[in-house]
Chain A
């Protein structure tokens, strides 16, 4: 028997299966395409992001030299030691130096002031690319005289023009040109600290390079064409490390930029992947209904001698073909969308991106699309094998059920493996991969459970007393072959993404705004020298402004923890002792005898005054101690401007960062640092922007080295930053929303075939067009409303969690915008539902009944 069967199967070649797949699809092609259309956007998003990533890599390779502007760069925030100076003198065929620091500048034309990043430059830097200015020549010419280049945003903001002047410290410079772009600069950075270039020879005269000022020095080298940079770097690296000098070459710049943007493209890929997963659920749901409609056809084929696997293959072939076409369309759309991405991300890019078609990305997208359509279609499709030929005689006594099919579990396993495999490819980290997979599954699970719960509640508390139309519309939510779960999951997830983003943005803004309310300080003056301390405080009071606090700051570096240097910790660290990262940065430390009102001792004991001759008792901030794995009793040896100071951690403090306050990682007691070189920070409160502008002018004129930060400015910068980041995330969330809408359209069209017979029957029984319209509208209104409401509830829960756990603040959702979102999504669902049902409404019942639906 088996032998005979095998012989017959050999004769029945794969060609016949393709032929049958083709024949069977003849009357269903538009529907099949609709099933798969929900993955088009997901594939489009991924292809766009992959193409963008490919272009980015290519551009980084091509433009790395212009990003850094030189072959080799040294940067340090300490004066060059004799050894380093000797090294600098010995390197390069040409060299340039730049000193940069944060300082206030004044535009005398308008009297306005602004905190900027001043860069004093000498030499012919950049050696690759250019400082882009208007006029073009200004980029090089400003170095010859008392001239400056001013960031274009700053120029616009204060309405100054080329030829006007800008005062930096004690010196007024003529503005030679508008700074459009400096090598390696990122658009968004200019809103934080816009750049002003001045010639190095005038730095001394500005009075801003005094001892204690925080100045960062960079040395740019042009090397001979035949220089072996790898060998050179290997040779000088130990020396540079010893003296705390960082270096960059074109190669390291390439790697570093590549790494940063790899993270960006990975993040965007994951967001795109969520849209794709959403589409996949749409595919699975649609194929489930498609298979149900095919039961009779399969049963007839089985009667005629087709075996289970052959029947399965006929439909698998259909899915593969339509999946391929869908993926191809998605890839085309993605290639088009990638033209938008560089524009969308331009504020985060250090260079302009040339967009080219990435065949690799297109290939990846198509393979992924086909794979994913097969994988998610498999779940309902494997049941085709179990359709009994008995269905031709009567409805089978056994409902085709997936739960008893062991292959179902294999498919689930494959889907899980696929999701985590994809996440791993993007994240390359096991923990993050598990976290992402679990989060995705949880989100889908919660939405599914909520959807099922809603359906259960609708059924349980059905409003029997309502009118017929309302009852009919309502009951469609839970009747057989309904699309409630899939729609609630897809629209709910899209709504949840958008709403959470909206809430978090509001939360952050609210937090910053709250900080400036009441009697909280809203203006910070820093870099006040010891000699200026009394004068600045006096000036503040004379303007009728309070001196809320005036805090001394001493800069120092860490030499040892528990007798071990950073290098020793690096060598023998097993990840249990203090982290070597503690050695990376310079410490800005204050000293006082009491805690301030934003601090609380978490463990240990606060010691306010040091006893002469004892090891100095210090206090460390809680989160920093955790990150650096520091504990009570650890000994820290600091280098305070050349003098070693032994300390021991006596207490760990928690700090409330919600208030504007000078907060410190390390606090010294009184009696140690009083004689060390130090500067001061003064906190005050200004009533309005007019007073603020006037006060800033006075400070800049009298104390040009003192920088002023107005909280109003911080709020506007945070707002701008949030807007830009929010825009990118909203753009990506849009894919989920549109995918949700496509799933909605597809589902509505599928349910249209389910509902058609019923609507026609109702019309035959005398229901008017208006009544059918009302039933349909009500059904989709309930669906859209429940889906959007689920999404909003989830986003409120997520935002509340983020507010209390991450941002440590109370969360009060804004009601009006939420109601707006609810109404919009409900309405959109109704419109799509009605548009799709018009076929039934506009035709006479007989025409529909006779048609082979």
Chain B
């Protein structure tokens, strides 16, 4: 199967207190289109940085990131924004809905950005899928955490992304709500045939994906299929 994401010899160094601080060292990963994978590791291990670089939110210090066949490293920030709009969906730990837009408008934004017409029915349909059709005109502050994350899910799938990045999607939710949201993520993902990359420190959530990449101190310490880990487990 074709790789939708190909990361080669990637490293990232920040300046911290005037000193260089390397948070990712020589990372090599390939993700097949339509697959699901989890990046796990302790706090500060570099997993969120890796997600940011993979999604084109930042530039690597060395190495290359190829997303859907497009090399991100040579693109300007505005060109990468265009790539994100065309191919990428996001789910964040703290939902990141636009506070001044209603639930419906939040879902419509990626489609509006693509200049698509007649988008309202599609956005409503997505809201209906996450069970929030009746709350479409509510503002984020009028929704509970779980509802906000469901709107965020609808928004993430609205532009039919080729790849979906989820950063600790259940981190701010209680166990019951988290379970419902996780189910929704995987159901929608299966339905749309989207590649899913999860960043989490929740091993139970990670085990729902096909592959688990463990990262520690900026290095990949293991990269194995989930079923194999379970067997060894």
Contact = CB atoms under 8 A, between A and B. Distances in A.
B105 A23 contact: yes
A19 B120 CA distance: 15
Given A11-B115, A305-B84, A393 B92 contact: yes
Contacts of B113: 12, 16, 304-306
Given A8-B115, A296-B96, A308 B78 contact: yes
Interface in A1-23: 1-2, 4-5, 8, 10-13, 16, 19, 23
A26 B140 CA distance: 13
Contacts of A300: 96-98
A25 interface: yes
B101 A305 contact: no
A397 B20 CA distance: 13
A303 B90 contact: yes
Interface string B22-65: 00000000000000000000000000100110010110000000
B52 A28 contact: no
B100 A24 contact: yes
B96 A8 contact: no
A389 interface: yes
B186 interface: no
A297 B100 contact: yes
A713 interface: no
B70 A8 contact: no
Interface residues of B, number: 37
Given A304-B110, A307-B82, A1 B70 contact: yes
Nearest to A23: B101
A293 to B, nearest CB: 10
B148 to A, nearest CB: 12
Interface residues of A, number: 39
Interface string B84-121: 11100010100011111100010001101111000000
A27 B57 CA distance: 28
A297 B81 contact: no
B77 interface: yes
Contact of A303 (B14, B96, B105, B114): B96
A393 B78 contact: no
A389 B75 contact: no
B57 A389 contact: yes
A230 interface: no
Interface string A227-241: 000000000000000
A392 interface: yes
A297 B141 CA distance: 14
A390 interface: yes
A388 interface: yes
B79 interface: yes
Contacts of A27: 99-100, 139
Given A8-B115, A307-B78, A393-B167, A301 B98 contact: yes
B115 A303 contact: no
A24 B139 CA distance: 12
Contacts of A307: 77-78, 81-82
A388 B57 CA distance: 8
B34 to A, nearest CB: 22
A92 to B, nearest CB: 76
Nearest to B115: A11
B167 A28 contact: no
A389 B75 CA distance: 15
A614 interface: no
A394 interface: yes
Nearest to A299: B96
A297 B48 contact: no
Nearest to A296: B96
A302 interface: yes
A303 B80 CA distance: 9
A89 interface: no
B45 to A, nearest CB: 14
A302 B114 contact: no
A24 B102 CA distance: 11
A397 B14 contact: yes
A303 B82 contact: no
Nearest to B53: A390
Given A303-B90, A393-B57, A1 B75 contact: yes
A388 B58 contact: yes
A305 B90 contact: no
A530 B70 CA distance: 108
A28 B48 contact: no
Contacts of A851: 141
A153 B99 CA distance: 68
Contacts of B141: 851-852
A392 B96 contact: yes
Nearest to A26: B100
A11 B48 contact: no
A466 B140 CA distance: 43
A8 B82 CA distance: 8
Contact of B100 (A1, A13, A25): A25
B114 A11 contact: yes
A22 to B, nearest CB: 10
A297 B85 CA distance: 16
Which of A24, A299, A389 has the most chain B CB atoms closer than 10 A to its own CB?
A389
Contacts of B58: 388, 390
A509 to B, nearest CB: 58
A308 B79 CA distance: 10
Name the residue in A10, A27, A305, A307 with the highest tally of chain B Cβ atoms < 10 Å from its Cβ. Answer: A305
B78 A5 contact: yes
Contact of A852 (B70, B77, B99): B99
Contacts of B112: 12, 16, 19
Contacts of B75: 1
Contact of B81 (A13, A296, A306): A306
B81 to A, nearest CB: 5
A205 B120 CA distance: 100
B84 A12 contact: no
A19 B102 CA distance: 13
Contacts of A19: 112
Interface in A379-401: 388-390, 392-394, 397
B215 to A, nearest CB: 15
Contacts of A10: 115
Contact of B84 (A296, A297, A303, A309): A303
Contacts of B82: 1, 4-5, 8, 305, 307
A306 B98 CA distance: 13
B131 to A, nearest CB: 23
Interface in A264-316: 296-297, 299-309
A393 B48 contact: yes
Contact of B52 (A301, A309, A390): A390
Nearest to A28: B100
A91 to B, nearest CB: 77
B85 A305 contact: yes
Nearest to A304: B110
A307 B140 CA distance: 24
A307 B52 CA distance: 17
A742 B99 CA distance: 28
A12 B115 contact: yes
A297 B79 contact: no
A237 to B, nearest CB: 70
Contacts of A12: 112-115
A19 B99 CA distance: 15
A1 B57 CA distance: 17
User: Sorted from nearest, which 8 A-B pairs have the closest CB atoms?
Assistant: A305-B85, A11-B115, A852-B141, A307-B78, A389-B57, A5-B82, A300-B96, A307-B81
21 contacts: A1-B75, A4-B86, A8-B115, A12-B114, A13-B115, A23-B100, A27-B99, A27-B139, A300-B97, A302-B77, A303-B57, A304-B90, A304-B110, A304-B155, A305-B84, A306-B81, A307-B82, A388-B58, A389-B57, A390-B57, A397-B14
Given A28-B100, A303-B90, 15 more contacts: A1-B75, A5-B78, A5-B79, A8-B82, A8-B114, A25-B100, A27-B139, A297-B98, A301-B98, A303-B57, A303-B84, A389-B84, A390-B52, A392-B90, A393-B92
